[in-house]
Structure 1
Amino acid sequence: MKDRATARQASPGGENSLRQLAYSRIEELLNWGRLRPGQIISQRELVETTEMTLSAIREAIPRLEAEGLLQTLPQRGLMVPSLDVTFIREAYQMRRVIELSAIPDLIQRLDRAVIRSWLDWHTAARERLSSDETVDLQIFLRDLQVYDWHMHAAMVGAMENSLISNVYRVTAIKIRMTAQARVRVTRDNAKRVIAEHIAFLTPMLEGSADAAAEALSRHIDQSLTIALGGTVAN
């Protein structure tokens, strides 16, 4: 079967690497909404979906449970946590604490050329979205999502604290689960997100921590409002 060959080929470190690969593939399913909040799935179904071995899946599950990304239901299988208001608010509260705390380190340590590249990318994306009506919206929105994820993770990474980065990574997965289940990404929403990113990247580039924190805080507030079913002005 393909999964065993692929897994062994990609895992020269042995069982630990197999476990990590299984974890990463389940993480990807959660990130993109292929495992949905409230869904119940068996270990055998995860084997088929991830193309991993059953033993690798079983070894990855305790970590996913400890991080609150899966729950074991005796005699039923595994359940993806439901998205109640508490789940959403706690995830966004953790995001706020970590990202706002990262700003001073980011401004002090991160090469300004990196921030400039982020800003340039968003400026170009805004212009393309506004002027090119023939743009493939689905591809554009997926690219925007991936860029967003990597940029925010890199912002937190400027703290150079692996423990904080790992907590943030798990928090980000929970927020993506919320977004995939509740948020309909449209051209107007994409324009709003790009504008909010530019609003905090500009003062970051200028070295203004207070202005960057204020704009980033507003961006997180807007995202939380939408996740809870509210509406915001574009």
Structure 2
Amino acid sequence: MAYDSIEDLLNNGGLKPGDVVSQRELMEKTGATLGAVREAIPRLEAEGLLITLPKRGLMVPSLDITFVRDAYQMRTMIEMTSVPFAIKHISKSVIAGWIDWHNSAIDHLDRGDEEVAQRLQRLDWDIHLQMVSAIGNALITNVYRVTSIKTRMVGQSRIRVTPANASRVIGEHLAFLNPLYAGDEVEATKALCQHIDNSLTLALGGTL
């Protein structure tokens, strides 16, 4: 639970690159016990999500543009590989549920609903992770998950889903979810690649 709470802080900007925190501050931020925080730290360090600074505390690593480019290249390779596995192993009922949620969210976004945008953000992360998990390789899934956290840390303000951009995100999602549901590997892969390319452009400070 302590690890998951710290991961949420990294994903959502509660901890930003360059931040230095103590174990007690992490305890206060997460609501976990000090012992639980201490148990989570070695895993976070091994994954490169925290760095111990002797006598200072723990630092969230700073990551540069080169890392972002490399991370998105790896993300593209992994996610393109995942499409046929997702078609085979993710049930149509699950994909249909994703599609229905996106379609029903559109009206709420027209009213600038921040809560719906936040739910879309979490669903975005979950859809991509479930597709990668469908490959059935725990090593690939973990590398993808950790790399995704790092890219979110770098581009928090640029790639975050908001009411202003949520309609675009929904359109990009439906562009690959509909063919995924239909079992059309070619179209799903093409649309997914475009979605990732758009995210990279934004993460690097560009516009669409």
Per the normalisation by structure 1, the TM-score is 0.82
Which residue identity does 2:187 align to in structure 1? Answer: A
2:43 is the counterpart of 1:43 = no
- Percent of pairs with identical residues: 57
Q: 2:203 & 2:25 partners in 1: Cα distance? A: 29
Using a 3 Å threshold, how does the CA distance of structure 1 residues 53 and 111 change in structure 2: closer, same or farther? closer
**Amino acid of the residue matched to residue 96 of structure 1?**
T
Partner of residue 72 from structure 1, selected from 48, 52, 60: 52
| Structure 2 runs not aligned, ≥5 long | none
**From 151, 174, 196, the counterpart of 1:198:** 174
Corresponding residue for 1:106? Answer: 86
- SS at structure 1 position matched to 2:165: helix
Does the 8 Å CA contact 1:115/1:205 hold for their aligned counterparts? yes
Distance 1:52 1:120, change over 3 A: closer
Structure 1, gaps ≥5 residues long: 1-20
What SS class does the counterpart of residue 63 from structure 2 fall into? coil
Larger radius of gyration: 1
Deviation at 1:108, TM superposition (A): 1.8
TM-score (ref. length: structure 2): 0.91
Q: Which moved more, 1:92-101 or 1:214-223?
A: 92-101
RMSD between aligned residues: 1.8
In 2 relative to 1, CA 84–119 (structure 1 residues): closer, same or farther, beyond 3 Å?
A: same
The alpha-carbon distance between structure 1 residues 191 and 167, as it changes in their structure 2 partners (threshold 3 A), is: same
Q: Residues 214-233 of structure 1, C-alpha deviation per residue, up to 9 Å, x if partnerless?
A: 1101100100110111001x
Matched residue type, 1:187: P
Q: Deviations over 1:117-142 (max 9, x none)?
A: 21121122224434xx3x5x221111
3-state SS in 2 of match to 1:217:
helix
**1:225 aligns with one of 190, 194, 201:** 201
What is the CA–CA distance in structure 1 between the aligned matches of 2:167 and 2:46, rounded to whole Å? 36
- 1:155 corresponds, among 116, 119, 131, to 131
Quick one: which amino acid aligns to residue 113 of structure 1?
S
217-226 or 81-90, which moves further after superposition? 81-90
2:23·2:34 contact (CA, 8 Å) conserved in 1? yes
For the 8 Å contact 2:161–2:169, the answer to whether it is kept is no
AA partner of residue 23 (structure 2): Q
